[in-house]
Amino acid sequence: MREEEKRELAKKVASSTQLSTSQVLNIINEIIDIQNSGLCIKFGIDEEYVHEVIWAKTLTGRL
């Protein structure tokens, strides 16, 4: 995912949450880092998935 694509996705997600664009961008980069480390199957990162990660991080107190 290119930097421009990540920024656009972060802006979309941030507008529907209480997080800043930079906070969402950090979450997107964290997802990409985990995928690159080989700890999970690589798949597309879309707005819905980022929302799910934010929800999970909120529930577990990691956000």
Task: Give the pLDDT confidence of 7-56 residue by residue, as tens digits.
Answer: 999 999 999 999 999 999 999 999 999 888 886 777 789 999 999 999 99
Please give the model's pTM, rounded to 2 decimal places: 0.87
What residue segments make up the domains of the chain, in order of their start? 3-59
DSSP characters over the chain: --HHHHHHHHHHHHTTSSS-HHHHHHHHHHHHHHHHTTSS------HHHHHHHHHHHHHTT--
| pLDDT class of 5 with cuts at 50, 70, 90 | very high
